[in-house]
Every structure is written in C-alpha cells, then in structure tokens.
C-alpha cells in the first residue's frame, strides 16, 4: 500500500502543474464567439484528449521519447513556440479578424475539434510540464502497476477539475460582455506569450546545462 502523503503529493503536483483556474480565462478567450453547446463540446473533447495523452505518457512516456530520440526539454521548446503563435494572434486580434471574415459561415465540427486538440488539450492542459510530471511520478515505487493505477485515478480527478472549471467559465463569460472579453483576451494573450517564452527558456537552459 502507498502512503496517503505520496498520493496527495502526486495530486497536488499535477493540479499545480496543469493549473485549472489559470486555464479558465484562456478558455474564455479562445471560445469567445461560440455558443454554449460548442463550448460544452470543446470542454469535454479537450479534457478527454488531454486525459488520454497523460495516460499514454503514464504507461509508455519514457519509452516513446527514448524511441523517437526526443527529450522532454525539446518538447518543452516546441510547445512554447506553438503557444507563442496563439498568444500573438490573441494580442493583435488576428483570431477575431479571421472570425469576422467568415462570420457568415457557421463554426464547423472540424474547427471545434481543432481548438479542442490545439491549443487546449495540447499544450495547455497536457503540456510539457504535465507530461514531464506524469513521467516523473510514474517512475516512483519502481514503476509498479499498482502505483500507476493510483496515478490513473489521480489524473482522472485533476482532469475532472479542469472540466468543471471550463463549465464554470460560461457564467463568467456571460457577465463580461464583448468589451470585457476583448480586453481580457488581449491581456491574457500577453500573459500567454510570457508563459510560452518561459517554456522555451526552460527547455533551452536544460538542454545547454
């Protein structure tokens, strides 16, 4: 049996790394022009995909990276660069311009699926930090299957919290209004850019040192 402290430590490690509360404003910015049903679809899809990715790396993360010759630090740099692109669009309202150009066209299932996969599921929810934390936690207790089963449940609980946070964002978005969402989107774009740069710096620093 594993000590409760070990399970609690794993839970808080993943919770802090994924940061569900911090994802809520970004989720609002990415889904500002969508209906309640579309937001619900993206919420569920992104959480299911992120859960699947984390479980995949829980079971075979180190094997996958070693086989492909990829380090977690290189993954962090790539994720940071992709995230910076999204932040750039948010700050300069390029996403909004694109939406206005296609305002007469309804949002398709493909568009909803794309947003759910990138950037929500990867790299925001199941990002380099969460993946590396999952791989590191899985190596405890000699990588026993009992411990991996515990981590499976822990990951499920944390992703459930993320889903709940996304659902609650509907209420916040309702009271923000168009102007509030515009201001928040640009502000969060700057913060997201800083976060993405930090991802890149951490990855480069780790590879150099």
* Six-digit token string for 138: 């899985």
pLDDT for the residue 112: 67
What's the DSSP call for residue 151?
H
User: Where is pLDDT greater, at 83 or 115?
Assistant: 115
* Six-digit token string for 159: 């992703």
Q: Are 138 and 58 in contact (CB under 8 A)?
A: yes
pLDDT for the residue 162: 95
Q: Is residue 24 part of a domain?
A: no
Among 14-23, 85-94, 95-104, 135-144, name the most confident range. 14-23
Q: Is residue 59 part of a domain?
A: yes
Give the pTM.
0.72
pLDDT for the residue 149: 92
Residue showing tokens 């492909």: 68
pLDDT for the residue 48: 97
HSE-CB of 158 using CA atoms within 13 angstroms: 30
pLDDT at 96 over 60: no
Q: Sorting pLDDT into bands at 50, 70 and 90, what band is 49?
A: very high
Residue showing tokens 């950037």: 119
Cβ atoms < 10 Å from Cβ of 66: 11
Q: Is residue 188 part of a domain?
A: yes
Q: Is residue 30 part of a domain?
A: no
Measured in whole angstroms, how far is the alpha carbon of residue 81 from the centre of its chain? 14
Domain around 50: 4-11+35-208
Q: Is residue 52 part of a domain?
A: yes
Q: Is residue 85 part of a domain?
A: yes
What value does the mean pLDDT take over residues 87-109?
59
Quick: pLDDT tens for 8-43: 888 988 988 888 877 888 888 888 778 888 899 999
Q: Sorting pLDDT into bands at 50, 70 and 90, what band is 151?
A: very high
Q: How far apart are CA 63 and CA 84, in angstroms?
A: 28
pLDDT at 6 over 50: yes
Q: How many helices (H) and strands (E) does the chain have?
A: 8, 0
User: What is the tally of structural domains in the chain?
Assistant: 1
pLDDT at 117 over 80: yes
Residue showing tokens 């993320």: 162
Q: Are 144 and 59 in contact (CB under 8 A)?
A: no
Q: Is residue 27 part of a domain?
A: no
Q: Sorting pLDDT into bands at 50, 70 and 90, what band is 84?
A: confident
Q: Is residue 185 part of a domain?
A: yes
Q: Are 109 and 45 in contact (CB under 8 A)?
A: no
Q: How far is CA 179 from CA 94, 100, 103, 132, in A?
A: 16, 16, 18, 38
pLDDT for the residue 44: 96
Q: How far is CA 75 from CA 72, 123, 142, in A?
A: 5, 10, 25
Q: Are 198 and 58 in contact (CB under 8 A)?
A: no
């Amino acid at each position: 049996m594993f000590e409760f402290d070990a399970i609690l430590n794993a839970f808080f490690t993943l919770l802090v790394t994924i940061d569900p509360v911090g994802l809520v404003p970004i989720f609002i910015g990415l889904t500002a022009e969508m209906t309640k049903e579309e937001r619900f679809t993206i919420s569920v899809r992104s959480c299911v995909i992120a859960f699947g990715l984390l479980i995949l790396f829980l079971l075979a993360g180190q094997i996958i990276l070693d086989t492909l010759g990829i380090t977690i630090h290189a993954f962090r740099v790539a994720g940071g660069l992709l995230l910076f692109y999204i932040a750039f669009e948010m700050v300069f309202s390029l996403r909004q311009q694109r939406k206005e150009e296609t305002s007469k066209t309804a949002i398709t299932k493909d568009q909803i699926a794309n947003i759910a996969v990138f950037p929500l599921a990867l790299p925001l929810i199941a990002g380099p930090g969460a993946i590396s934390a999952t791989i590191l936690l899985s190596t405890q207790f000699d990588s026993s299957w009992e411990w991996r089963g515990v981590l499976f449940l822990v990951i499920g609980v944390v992703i459930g919290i993320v889903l709940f946070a996304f659902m609650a964002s509907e209420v916040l978005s309702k009271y923000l209004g168009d102007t509030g969402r515009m201001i928040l989107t640009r502000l969060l774009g700057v913060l997201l850019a800083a976060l993405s740069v930090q991802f890149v710096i951490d990855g480069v620093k780790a590879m150099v040192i």
